[in-house]
Structure 1
Amino acid sequence: MDTKTFDAVVIGAGPGGYVAAIRLAQLGKKTALVEKESLGGVCLNWGCIPSKALIAVANLVDEMRGAADRGIIADQPRIDVEKLRAFKNEVVKKLVGGVGTLEKGNGVEVLRGAGRFVAPNAIEVKGEKGEWRVEAPAFIVATGARTIQIPGFEFDGKDVWSAREAVDLPEIPKHLVVIGGGIIGLELGSTYARLGSKVTVVEALPQLLTGIDPEAVRVVQKNLRQREVAVHVSAKAKGLDRGKDGLAVRIEVDGKEQAIPCDKVLVAVGMRPDASGLGLDAVGVKIGPKGFVEVNERYQTSVPSIYCVGDLSGPPLLAHKASKEGEIAAEAIAGKKSVRDWVAMPAAIFTEPEVASVGLSEEEARKAGYEPVVGKFGFGALGRAIAIDHTDGFVKVVGDKGSGLLLGATIVGPEASDLIAEAALALEMGAYLEDVALTVHAHPTLPEALMEACKAALGEAIHALNRPERPRKADARAAAQA
């Protein structure tokens, strides 16, 4: 077995790992990147990117179906599944190839194979083209998470799909049952509904999108009803029957069982951290009871030479969080004083309409000791939203009544995933409600809704009725600076 020596080694080439490897190389470290599958990890290959390619097409189909209301007469759109799959694959291929080019351009050596720790400063990599002992004074583990399976619904790639099969688009089933009403289940379920499938969602908890502002969830549920998507909450998936007439999912609701006939089943009940085969426990890395590796603010584990970033280091399981953590760990290894110091981590859900949030909700703000004040502005009153015929949803901001400090925002509506960036920047800069309210926004645009919501929180809304007892901006800022 040949021995290779580096300054730093990254295991896992997803959004956390490939970014960490690039940053290490930029900082002058001789770096290796170990990956047993494709560069880009789950996100680029069968998660974020391919699902958003399919969602974009589903949105286009939606626009075409509703175009007659705006004077555009077109035939009912038909979907060529093979061409759609080829488009999605080309999107993935381009981005994965781009990652490879960036690694090579930065001087990172990519080792194809599975890595396992044999010492705190060494791993063994086994791949189709060879085996190596790889030594380094520092390692970053970024192996992400894997899909959770549930008894009776084991993935077979034929009748029972994981997200991996769903984004591969083997077909558009006549009736798809989605087990799991979280982010993945609703993103993919609503996509297939817009592509032509009859969709039924089965969720074990009392609410879809658990943890999301219930008012925002209601907007998404309204859209699902309009698309005739059947939703069962507080429902348990009991089993899958395979008969001569096809499949049937047995569920239990309020103590009563019922069967839902279908063609395919998508199981999307979440992800769990994936440290399988790494040998972390053998070298003394501490792993918590839920399977997440314990790290400090520099993403260093209990073994000083080993760092961990991304889904494996703890929630929220977000690609952009993993990338940021990869940069921090790389900079820490290079001797920089980088730590986990962000104010808030934005999140986006690509349902129809989209949902995005950053910072504290009203309830979280109250628990944190603030006296929250809320400002809200509906897209139904926004010129640009009306002009593009996407008026469902709203922007809601949360501030501190005493100081006027902006604490958080929730957006449900058109382009929410893009609009949340302004709120995230405002939070990172320590902005006040007044700061956003006084910033002139181009008209007519969707971001005006954030400005209007902040004005509403201050009691100064122009295009909405004001509610009493809002913080006086001048007095609030003076009090905060005192």
Structure 2
Amino acid sequence: MESFDVVVIGGGPAGYVAAIRAAQLGFATACVDAFTRDGKASLGGTCLNVGCIPSKAMLDSSEKFEMLQHEFAEHGITVQGAQVDLNTMLGRKAGVVDKLTGGIAYLFKKNKVKSFSGLGKLVRQEEGGWVVDAAGAEIRAKHVIVATGSNPRELPIAPFGGHVVENSGALAFQQVPGKLGVIGAGVIGLELGSVWRRLGAQVTVLEAMPTFLAAADDAVAKEALKQFQKQGLDFHFGVNISKVEQTDAGVTVTYSENGQETTAQFDKLIVSIGRVPNTAGLGADAVGLQLDERGFIKVDRHYRTNLPGVYAIGDVIGGAMLAHKAEEEGVALAEMLAGQAGHVNYDVIPWVIYTSPEIAWAGLTEKAAKEQGLSVKTGQFPFSANGRALGHGDPRGFVKIVADAQTDRLLGVHMIGGGVSELIGEVVAIMEFGGSSEDLARTIHAHPTLSEVVKEAALAADKRALHM
């Protein structure tokens, strides 16, 4: 029986990063992963295979098509008869995924991480560690890291199958739906709805909550809704869905809105109402691994479960279900096992929605800061006053800074506009070091760049913006 210092169950962002970092720190490491794509083992989990990466590839392709149709003429570029070759677009997406998932296999080899393709299961505790079933072969582990991720949540009255799909199915339509329904106006629903709207679908979004993007700052949510409605996305809020029926031709959804019952017909229906922890086949019950009332693995602040030598990270422990959060937990835990001070600052995790315009935020919203009893000041600056944004032809949106009125410490940053997924990193770095809006305002930014909007928003927090 092979023995390892660390065995990671799960090869997604939390698992593969934890395995690589553990190996870098000198641990004999193995990773057991059951994810398959197109019937073949594929490292990277949901994110690389059917989530973050393929969705961004499709978002990029579809945005280029929309720009070709509606935006290039402004630049003096006229194109007639533009068409979408969906097979080529899907093939490009698959190529991007193949390159990155293959890259993880290379990194495992480089760092001497042994990979097992198949289901990982906790079998029994023995003196000095655990026995793990690694795809049918028993191996020993001093430390076991569970990083099995999450699965899409099903709507009980609309199980996945046929014309009702989750994120992976929505990334593999073989033709553009004429009418597309999306249940859930969160990150996944907005991104996938945007992809197919750009390619020609008529998209209707049904959301149970009465408000839009409740987690975002109110100003950003208001601007985002205006932009998406202008693009043609049809939103319905406070919706109660009572029936979903499939036929050979499509899906019929019956729902009530403001007390009025409505029936809508769709060719395809995307259900994006959140995710649930994936503990199936792990052997949790057999070994006594404690789960909470929602099925997440219970851990302490050092990611320790109730079982000695067994740890858990990533989506399977709850919190923000974000790949970068999971990766940081993988690094932190590996370093803790090596006696180092691994740490994740959950207060400054960035969130991004890769629509057009993009939406990004980190830290507290203005409303949340005030609810905590903090005295706040805010600064906001529009992209419409920025030379680079105007040159790009995309002056939509703004950057908003939230700072403590007494100490000037940055509390939050909220952005909507072109490229804000890249701009937010600067503010997060300053927040990580406990920096102030003054620190951000005094930092020299190249001109002309979109990042100048961040600087101007920080200046605006003290009512001294220079270009507005």
Task: Indicate whether the TM-score tops 0.5.
Answer: yes
Question: Separation in 1 of the partners of 2:137 and 2:260?
Answer: 57
Deviations 1:182-235 (A, max 9, x none): 110011001110111110000011123231123212222222222222111101
Partner SS, residue 320 of structure 2: coil
CA drift of 1:114 comes to 0.7
Give me the CA root mean square deviation.
Answer: 1.5
Match for residue 274 of structure 2?
270
Counterpart selection for 1:18 from 2, 16, 19: 16
* Mapped pair 1:204 → 2:208: yes
Shift of 1:381: 1.2
Q: Once superposed, which parts of structure 1, at least 4 consecutive aligned residues long, lie more than 4 Å away?
A: 243-246
Aligned-residue offset at 1:154: 1.0
Amino acid at match of 1:321: K
SS in 2 for 1:335: coil
- Give, as a single letter, the amino acid of the residue that structure 2 aligns with 1:26: Q
Deviation at 1:430, TM superposition (A): 1.4
CA drift of 1:335 comes to: 2.1
Q: Distance in 1 between matches of 2:346 and 2:238?
A: 36
Identity across matched positions, percent: 39
Task: Summarize deviations over 1:344-377 as a string: whole Å, max 9, x none.
Answer: 1111111221110111111222233320101000
CA distance in structure 2 between the partners assigned to 1:278 and 1:324 by the alignment:
23
SS at match of 1:417: helix
The SS at the match of 2:13 is coil
Residues 38-75 of structure 1, C-alpha deviations (whole Å, 9 max, x = no match): 20000000000000000011111122121112211111
* Residue 390 of structure 1, aligned match among 394, 397, 400: 394
Equivalent-residue separation in structure 1 for 2:249 and 2:340 (angstroms) = 63
Partner of 1:134: 139
CA distance in 1, matches of 2:412, 2:447: 24
Select between 134-143 and 223-232 the one with higher mean Cα deviation.
223-232
CA deviations 1:92-146 (Å, max 9, x no partner) are 000000000000111011011111112243344363xxx2112111011000111
Structure 1 residues 47-446: aligned runs within 5 Å? 47-65=51-69, 66-120=71-125, 121-125=129-133, 127=135, 131-156=136-161, 158-243=162-247, 246-341=250-345, 343-446=347-450
Check conservation: 1:182, 1:210, Cα contact below 8 A.
no
Matches of 1:70 and 1:410, distance apart in 2: 30
CA distance in 1, matches of 2:165, 2:344: 36
- Indicate conservation of the 8 Å contact 2:132/2:141, yes or no: no
Change (3 A) 1:245 1:122: closer
Deviations 1:215-256 (A, max 9, x none): 212222222222222111101222223457643221111222
1:454 aligns with 2:454: no
Q: 1:16 to 1:126 in 2, by over 3 A?
A: closer
TM-score by length of 2: 0.95
Query: For 1:341 and 1:347, how far apart are their aligned partners in 2?
Result: 14
8 A contact 1:115–1:123 mirrored in 2? no
- Tell me how many residue pairs correspond in the alignment: 458
Q: SS where residue 2 of structure 2 aligns?
A: strand
2: distance between equivalents of 1:82 and 1:223?
Answer: 29
Structure 2 CA distance for partners of 1:8 and 1:244, relative to 1, 3 Å = closer
- Partner AA of 2:187 in structure 1: I
Does structure 2 conserve the Cα–Cα contact (< 8 Å) formed by 1:297 and 1:339? no
Greater displacement, 55-64 / 446-455: 55-64
**Separation (CA, whole Å) in 2 of partners of 1:56 and 1:402:** 42
- Once the two structures are superposed, residues 359-408 of structure 1 have per-residue CA deviations (whole angstroms, 9 ceiling, x without a partner) of 11112222333201010001111111111111111100000111111111
Corresponding residue for residue 6 of structure 2: 8
| Secondary structure in 1 matching 2:463 | coil
